[in-house]
A = this chain, B = another copy of it.
């Protein structure tokens, strides 16, 4: 392969590396990662003041939609380890956004419920997440967004779901 010596003599401040990315742009995984980073950064920025991450937000959504759900069910649904879910719920419970209650049928499990305070916050978060999505997808039409989701869902995931 021909080497590309960087012969540019430019002031350091204006030096634009513009590295040769090699085979990386040929990989779908690479572009997936870049998109993921961009989305996560906007998400983090949007929800930083609320102490929320995609994982925490997802957990609150699932608890609200499935009152009494267990931690293990959540972990499986959202692809987090059970041990990770412990600290997520610890955090949310510590902020009085969700509560662990005793299960009526299985004393091993915690039945999780959203609190009034949690439901109130979640309503605001849902509006914010809509704005977030609108922001990151501004350049895509409704058809293109649906197409993107459709293509993403056809990425092989026999290990998951």
Using CB atoms and an 8 Å cutoff, list the residues of chain A in contact with chain B: 3-4, 16-17, 19-24, 27-39, 41-43, 54, 58, 61-62, 64-67, 69, 73-74, 76-77, 79, 126, 129, 132-133, 135-140, 144-145, 147-149, 151-157, 159-161
* A35, chain B: closest CB distance, angstroms: 4
Instruction: Check if B38 sits within 8 Å of A157, measured CB to CB.
Output: yes
How many copies are assembled? Answer: 2
Instruction: Name the contact of A27 in the complex, choosing from B17, B41, B67, B129 (C-beta under 8 A).
Output: B129
Q: Could you say which residues of chain B place their CB within 8 Å of the CB of A22?
A: 61-62, 64-65
A-B contact pairs, 18 of them (CB 8 A): A16-B73, A17-B77, A19-B77, A22-B62, A23-B61, A23-B126, A24-B58, A24-B62, A27-B129, A27-B133, A28-B39, A28-B133, A28-B145, A31-B148, A31-B152, A32-B35, A34-B152, A42-B159
Instruction: Check if B35 sits within 8 Å of A155, measured CB to CB.
Output: yes
Cα distance A133–B65 when bound, in Å? 35
Cα distance A76–B61 when bound, in Å? 35
